[in-house]
């Protein structure tokens, strides 16, 4: 793993312009990455590391940047077995000198660096502002100056919609975030769109829903409920579900999310667009908890009253329509929930000590 150096590498020989492809078929999408230089910010984290691994498999020249921000999901183990096949730079996307060097010559940038915890965003809103608004803006400035032809795909969130006025959520739903994280992530997304309209950068955003799978943080419970439920079940503990547990969510397995990023990065049809990713059939949280217990073969489920700090930012029933990305990029989730959970649990059985202190 490298600390980033301030001396820009010699990128001069690399092509500057990277026209994308129009066709949404999977074959050309995957071929697109062979030999291309691709930057993944937040690449030691959960989704970023899964994406970086897939890009290496597809023959891309992969550069990862991650600051290993405290309490976030960055984990060097996520890419440890790949260290000879990609570059990892421990640097902050807000570090201008570092990013100027790292974006130069990159043909696709996947911008996943960010802070995921909604609860933490309420406790320390300025840190969330730094990581989720200033961070993406800094990356875009580096691209504008040093890699204006790069395609930039942002990891947005359906949290920008807040409590739904109707379901399933589509991209026309008003943005009414219920927490600071939703506001800052929306700002991050809008910066990407503005850099498209104002400077001609080829940008787009994927609004992720609850994503789950291998390499997800399970050190603490503040980042997302799925990995925490999985950890509790695997430890034989009790999963506490708030209220009556009937609030429904859709979940997307991380390989499907990676596939959406690959399609968006390769296709001109994504430029200037915002797409929801949706997941499996919506499932009530109490049923999800029971399913995890059944697959793990351990643990139990209990309903408990809402803690006030979680109730005030809860969004109730939420699930998204993925019709727009299906139509534009041919994407749809393909991993059944039970299968994804089984794969996730099998991964943590094998690598438990790297995720649970």
Q: Is 313 in the site for ligand NAD (CB under 6 A)?
A: no
Q: Is 299 in the site for ligand NAD (CB under 6 A)?
A: no
* Closest to 74 in 3D by CA, of 64, 61, 87, 85: 64
Q: Is 42 in the site for ligand NAD (CB under 6 A)?
A: yes
Which tokens is 226 given? 């799925």
Q: Is 112 in the site for ligand NAD (CB under 6 A)?
A: yes
The residue (of 42 and 340) whose beta carbon lies closer to ligand NAD is: 42
Cis peptide bond upstream of 90, omega within 30: no
Out of 29, 40, 72, 234, name the contact with ligand NAD by CB under 6 A. 72
The residue (of 113 and 180) whose beta carbon lies closer to ligand NAD is: 113
Strand-pair partners of 39: 63, 109
Q: Is 48 in the site for ligand NAD (CB under 6 A)?
A: yes
Q: Is 121 in the site for ligand NAD (CB under 6 A)?
A: no
Q: Is 210 in the site for ligand NAD (CB under 6 A)?
A: yes
Cα–Cα distance, 334 to 105 (Å, whole number): 33
Q: Is 46 in the site for ligand NAD (CB under 6 A)?
A: yes
Instruction: Please check whether residue 275 is in contact with residue 205, taking contact to mean a CB–CB distance below 8 angstroms.
Output: yes
Q: Is 135 in the site for ligand NAD (CB under 6 A)?
A: yes
Cα–Cα distance, 329 to 346 (Å, whole number): 31
CB of 223 vs ligand NAD, minimal distance in Å: 6
Out of 113, 183, 262, 329, name the contact with ligand NAD by CB under 6 A. 113
> Which part of the chain contacts ligand NAD (CB under 6 A), choosing from 3-11, 109-117, 141-149, 327-335?
109-117
Q: Is 116 in the site for ligand NAD (CB under 6 A)?
A: yes
> Which part of the chain contacts ligand NAD (CB under 6 A), choosing from 44-52, 168-176, 229-237, 316-324?
44-52
Out of 36, 37, 54, 94, name the contact with ligand NAD by CB under 6 A. 94
Cα–Cα distance, 231 to 208 (Å, whole number): 22
Out of 21, 68, 167, 303, name the contact with ligand NAD by CB under 6 A. 68
Q: Supply the Cα-derived Rg of the chain in whole angstroms.
A: 19
The residue (of 210 and 267) whose beta carbon lies closer to ligand NAD is: 210
Angle at the Cα of 318 from the Cα atoms of 45 and 206, rounded to 5 degrees: 45
Out of 58, 106, 140, 208, name the contact with ligand NAD by CB under 6 A. 208
- CA end-to-end distance (rounded Å), the chain: 22
| Residues 150 to 169 in contact with ligand NAD, rule: CB under 6 A | 155, 157
Q: How many CB atoms lie within 10 A of CB 348?
A: 20
Cα–Cα distance, 81 to 78 (Å, whole number): 8
Out of 29, 38, 40, 44, name the contact with ligand NAD by CB under 6 A. 44
Strand, coil or helix: what is 132? helix
Buried b (16+ CB within 10 A) or exposed e, 277-295: bbbbebbbbbebbbbbbeb
Out of 38, 39, 47, 266, name the contact with ligand NAD by CB under 6 A. 47
Instruction: Please check whether residue 278 is in contact with residue 168, taking contact to mean a CB–CB distance below 8 angstroms.
Output: yes
Cα–Cα distance, 148 to 140 (Å, whole number): 9
Q: Is 69 in the site for ligand NAD (CB under 6 A)?
A: yes
Q: Is 217 in the site for ligand NAD (CB under 6 A)?
A: yes
Cα–Cα distance, 278 to 325 (Å, whole number): 10
Please, what sign has the CA dihedral across residues 219, 222, 225, 226? negative
Q: Is 324 in the site for ligand NAD (CB under 6 A)?
A: no
Residues making contact with ligand NAD (CB under 6 A): 41-42, 44-48, 65-69, 72-74, 92-94, 112-116, 131, 135, 155, 157, 185, 208, 210-211, 217, 224
């Amino acid at each position: 793993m490298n600390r980033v150096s301030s001396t820009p590498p010699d990128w001069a020989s690399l092509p500057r312009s990277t026209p994308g492809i129009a066709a949404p078929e999977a074959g050309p999408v995957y071929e697109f990455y062979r030999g291309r230089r691709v930057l993944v910010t937040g690449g030691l984290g959960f989704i970023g590391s899964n994406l970086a691994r897939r890009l290496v498999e597809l023959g891309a020249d992969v550069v990862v940047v991650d600051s290993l921000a405290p309490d976030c999901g960055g984990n060097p183990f996520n890419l440890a077995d790949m260290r000879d096949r990609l570059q990892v730079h421990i640097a902050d996307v807000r570090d201008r000198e570092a990013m100027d060097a790292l974006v130069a010559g990159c043909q696709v940038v996947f911008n996943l660096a960010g802070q995921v915890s909604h609860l933490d965003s309420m406790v320390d809103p300025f840190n969330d502002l730094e990581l989720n608004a200033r961070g993406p803006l800094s990356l875009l400035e580096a691209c504008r100056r040093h890699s204006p032809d790069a395609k930039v795909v942002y990891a947005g969130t359906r949290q920008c919609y807040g409590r739904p006025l109707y379901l399933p959520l589509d991209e026309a739903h008003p943005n009414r975030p219920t927490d600071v994280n939703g506001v800052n992530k929306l700002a991050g997304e809008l910066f990407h769109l503005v850099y498209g309209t104002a400077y001609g950068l080829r940008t787009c955003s994927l609004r992720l829903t609850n994503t789950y799978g291998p390499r997800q943080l399970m050190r603490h419970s503040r980042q997302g409920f799925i990995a925490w439920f999985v950890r509790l079940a695997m430890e034989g503990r009790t999963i506490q579900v708030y209220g009556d547990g009937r609030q429904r969510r859709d979940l997307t397995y991380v390989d499907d999310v990676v596939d959406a990023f690959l399609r968006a990065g390769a296709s001109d049809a994504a430029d200037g667009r915002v797409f929801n990713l949706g997941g499996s059939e919506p499932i009530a949280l109490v049923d999800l908890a029971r399913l995890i217990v059944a697959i793990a073969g351990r643990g139990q489920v209990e309903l408990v009253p809402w803690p006030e700090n979680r109730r005030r930012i809860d969004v109730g029933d939420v699930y998204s329509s993925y019709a727009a990305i299906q139509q534009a990029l041919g994407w749809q989730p393909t991993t059944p929930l039970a299968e994804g959970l089984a794969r996730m649990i099998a991964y943590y059985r094998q690598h438990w000590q790297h995720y649970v202190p």
